[in-house]
Amino acid sequence: MALIPSQVLRVAILLSYCSILCHYKALDMPAHQTYGGSWKFLTFIDLVIQAVFFGLCVLIDVSSLLTKGGDSREQERQLRKLIGLRDWMMAVLAFPVGAFVVFTFWTLYLYDRDLVYPRLLDNFIPQWLNHGMHTTVLPFIIIEMRTTHHRYPSRPWGLSAVCCFGLGYVLWTCWVHHVTGVWVYPILERITPIARVVFFSVMTVVISIFYVLGEILNNYIWDQTHTEKVKGE
């Protein structure tokens, strides 16, 4: 039996994201006042995705509790729809985008932090908040994957959805640059137009790889769990 029920973990993680979002939005940063506001940054978009995802998980937990023992087919049908949406969000958004943000941020940060997180930001963003945005996202989503079996869509459909998200963010980034004349991330200012195309293409491939890794990890965890249950019978 788990030391902490998964339902309690989801509530705690949801409250954590709500706190992080509130503190982040309260920061008096110049970038928040320009075109696009916080929505220019993939980190913020990811935080919203994670908060919505875990909010949906909590809603499903509450709905399951309220409908337990009932015989309403309509309630069961609506609950299955919510579960399907939750599984889709995990597969296409929560895991690949969350893992992508953590991986790319810390890779670029360790190489040259000024490419993605200039030292000036230390005056605005405390270390605990930085880790809340760029570190704990991955363990939180892995905890959810470990406690709940999520059904992935077919790989072609899932990869298509992930690539559409990536392409949408690239177009949004280019539009912000078109309007303001400034790239969202410093690294984009330092490379040539051709290099930007290559950079965006590589990033799209990377997020697609994280989708596949998420699917493999999910299947591995639950195949192992099923095998252990069979052996224990």
- DSSP letters of 127-151? HHHHHHHHTTHHHHHHHHHHHS---
- Average pLDDT along the chain, 233 residues, taken 10 residues at a time: 74 96 88 89 96 96 79 80 95 96 94 89 90 95 93 95 96 95 92 94 95 94 63 48
Measure the N-to-C terminal CA separation of the chain; round to a whole number of Å: 16
Q: Which of 220, 224, 200 is nearest to 212 (CA)?
A: 220
Residue 72: HSE in the Cβ half-sphere, 13 Å Cα cutoff: 12
The reply to whether 113 falls in a domain is: yes
The reply to whether 128 falls in a domain is: yes
| Per-residue model confidence (pLDDT) at position 33 | 85
Domains of the chain: total? 1
The reply to whether 1 falls in a domain is: no
The reply to whether 32 falls in a domain is: no
The reply to whether 61 falls in a domain is: yes
Residue 36: HSE in the Cβ half-sphere, 13 Å Cα cutoff: 21
Give the C-alpha distances (Å, rounded to integers) separating 126 from 25, 122, 132: 13, 6, 10
The reply to whether 45 falls in a domain is: yes
| Per-residue model confidence (pLDDT) at position 77 | 85
| Domain boundaries, position 53 | 6-26+37-232
The reply to whether 31 falls in a domain is: no
The reply to whether 13 falls in a domain is: yes
Sign of CA dihedral 146, 164, 189, 40: negative
For the entire predicted model, the pTM comes to: 0.91
Structure tokens that stand for 127 in this block: 């270390």
| DSSP letters for 175-203 | HHHHHHS--SSHHHHHS-HHHHHHHHHHH
